[in-house]
Amino acid sequence: MSPGALPGFRDFYPTELAERSYIFRGWRDVARRYGFVEYDGPPLEPLDLYTKKSGAEIVDQLYNFRDKGDREIALRPEMTPTLARMVAARANSMRKPVRWFSIPQLFRYERQQRGRLREHFQLNMDIIGEADVSADAELLAAAIDVMSVFELSSEDVVARVSDRRLLNALLRGIGITEPQMAAAYAALDKLDRDPREVLEHRLAAAGVGASVSAQLFELAGATADEAAFTHIVDAAGATAEWDDLRRYLDHTESLGVREWVKLDLSIVRGLAYYTGIVFELFDAKGELRAICGGGRYDTLLESLGGVSLPALGFGMGDVVLGELLKSRGRMPVAEAMVDVWVAYGDAGSVEDAMRVAARLRARGRSVEYALGNQKLARQLKAAHTARARETVVIATPELSAGEAMVRKLDEKGERKVQLEAWLEET
């Protein structure tokens, strides 16, 4: 039996690595267009960085252990606590708002399922030091622009947005008490995945009566009719929160992404630290897990680093995005090609090929030749398999001194050249 990778971990053969690089390039491109700069942090962190604020779900999934110095540590399951710690430590000397991005590899001991592995890469874009909803809109537009960069449209992807402040006010309005709030959030979060009876049962166990439960489920769908919804908002005294959210939606219009966005109060996010507007991107057919998720976490820097700064951001994984791109035929087939293959005939040897290769490489070309002394026919076959853009053949008995034959990929015929002149222009 040959040893495989651990369950939920991936081997990146060159084809898979090319796909990953394609995704990273798109991510970096959008981050740059929005004026974000790149940072990174350590893959191992003190365990309590996560146990303090991230919430039970992610803490259950930690890869944690005691190191040789008897410290309780964990592989990072997400980037946000590291970012909060790093920014809080130097907050005074930084230009605000901070606009940072990173592409960390993250580790979560998850139950294996489609789109969820035990390691993944995640684009993180965060803004720190801006309380206005224009920052929320900016980030949502960035996440959506990533979709556009990969040639996905609003027919492929939907952004579902909500606001925890608004939701809190509405939940209080229908009679959910503070101790019941976590159960109400959990029920909304699982609305798509678990049967209604199961959710009702859990709510009842948290002390939520049947009529309040019914109102809770109604609330999740109440945004469809804006006039009726405004009425509910007024009744709950949540006008200020609703105004903020509407302003945010208006900004998404100006940023050109409004058609992707849908208000959806069942988006509450699994992580505990969110305090305001939250969002997730999903494939429009609803076949896959979330592509991306994020929101505002205005109190995390204070609780992790003692610095009070508003903050918001999102994380977008490479796994679901990769699946989506493949299923929509948007993942280019990567072809690793060399520029030039150098082959030699019976009148020469591998040394001649080496000298030509060295000259071309010094000029920045990617060059291969057959290692070891091989017959010309075999070398040409290898050049063909490698799909070299050009093959140059030197030192055959038919060629005079200083001459070479050049053949281009996918072109019939070959031409005789003066090797020196050709090297200068290649």
Angle of helix 210-221 versus helix 196-205 axis, rounded to 10: 130
Q: Does 266 bind ligand HAM (CB under 6 A)?
A: no
Q: Does 124 bind ligand HAM (CB under 6 A)?
A: yes
What CA–CA distance (Å, rounded) separates 125 from 307?
Answer: 20
**Amino acid occupying residue 415:** R
Residues in CB range of 217: below 8 A, 6 or more apart: 191, 196, 199
Residues 279 and 268: their CA atoms lie apart, in Å, by 8
Report which secondary-structure segment, H or E, holds 212.
helix 210-221
Q: Binding residues for ligand HAM, how many (CB under 6 A)?
A: 24
Among 129, 293, 305, 345, binds ligand HAM (CB under 6 A): 293
Is residue 300 near ligand HAM by the rule CB under 6 A? no
Nearer of residues 99 and 108 to ligand HAM, judged by Cβ: 108
Helix (H) / strand (E) containing 296: strand 292-296
Residue 203 interacts with ligand HAM (CB under 6 A): yes or no? no
Among 313, 322, 345, 348, binds ligand HAM (CB under 6 A): 313
Residues 6+ apart with CB under 8 A from 340: 357, 360, 365, 366, 367, 368, 388, 389, 390, 391, 392, 426
Window 74 to 113, contacts with ligand HAM (CB under 6 A): 78-80, 108, 110
What residues from 316 to 375 belong to the interface with ligand HAM (CB under 6 A)? 316-317, 319-320
Residue 103 or 395: which CB sits closer to ligand HAM?
103
Q: Provide, rounded to whole angstroms, the least separation between the CB of residue 300 and ligand HAM.
A: 9
Strands (E), 119-168: 119-128, 157-163
Q: Is 116 in the site for ligand HAM (CB under 6 A)?
A: yes
305 binds ligand HAM per the rule CB under 6 A: no
In order, the DSSP letters of 92-125 are GGS-SSEEEEE--EEE--PPPBTTB-SEEEEEEE
Least Cβ distance, residue 193 to ligand HAM (angstroms): 15
- Written as one letter, the residue type at 394 is I
Residue 290 in the binding site for ligand HAM (CB under 6 A): yes
Query: Of 226-234, 292-300, 330-338, 343-351, which part binds ligand HAM (CB under 6 A)?
Result: 292-300
Identify the residue among 142, 291, 367, 395 touching ligand HAM (CB under 6 A): 291
Closest by CA position to 46, among listed 72, 76, 66: 72
Among 9-17, 120-128, 154-162, 403-411, the segment contacting ligand HAM (CB under 6 A): 120-128
Q: Which residues bind ligand HAM (CB under 6 A)?
A: 78-80, 108, 110, 116-117, 120, 122, 124, 126, 271, 290-294, 313-317, 319-320
